[in-house]
Amino acid sequence: FSPGLLVVAGSFAAFRLLNWSVERLVPPPPSARRNRWKWRNIWTSLAHSVLSGGGALAGFCLYPEMVEDLVGSHPPEAHSLVAVSVGYFIEDFVDMLCNQKLHQSWELLFHHSVVIICFGIAVLLHQYVGFALVALLVEINSIFLHLRQILLMANMVHTTCYRLNSIINLGTYVVFRIATLAWMTRWLFLNRQNVPPATYAVGTVGMAIMTPMNIILFYRLLRGDFFK
């Protein structure tokens, strides 16, 4: 038994409660009332992205020594943050499974499965927490991805706010998503001798799945926001 599992369970419950409360906290505009579930889901995802992305960035600023040892060196707060993210991804997986058709959500369900397995290993073994924290830097870009969806649902496509968010979204996508995943792939390759074969296999498969998914999403963003 790992105390991290308690954090995972608490995180799942907290994000589930937030999901149920979103409509009271942020009432959906008329254009979003046809899909209330998606409105709640995106706001819940935005809350996680702010927490995890901001927490990961703060973690590397406060504990720069983690960069030197992504396997064994990490403060308790970093371990807790990864456990919180596992709880969120489980909650989001269940939420999509219950409210969306499989052919509409299989990509995200597959993505969440990979993340839950990889982060779960870090939580249970208390190793590779620094590596998982690098992966959470991706959530900084997710903040603007979720804001984009919210603005789309609120029918604010032709506003300055949407245009500004599109530019920031693309910039953070390159820096915090494409570059971060490329760096993680490079680190995994260079440190393959120091990583157990099973863990290396899981990490390699994870990177092999994430890379094409992110390239496709980048193309969709370019096509949708800049090349209409």
- Supply the pTM of this predicted model: 0.91
Q: For 175-224, how does the pLDDT look when each residue is reduced to its tens digit (9 = 90+)? A: 999 999 899 889 888 888 888 888 888 888 888 888 888 888 899 898 88
pLDDT of residue 1: 57
Q: What is the mean pLDDT of residues 96-122?
A: 89
Q: For 126-145, how does the pLDDT look when each residue is reduced to its tens digit (9 = 90+)? A: 999 999 999 999 999 999 99
pLDDT of residue 207: 86
Q: How far apart are CA 146 and CA 157, in angstroms?
A: 14
Which amino acid is present at 40?
R
What are the structural domain ranges in the chain?
3-227
Q: Write out the two tokens for 64.
A: 């720069």
Q: Give, rounded to a whole angstrom, the gap between the first and last alpha carbons of the chain.
A: 52
Q: What is the mean pLDDT of residues 72-87?
A: 93
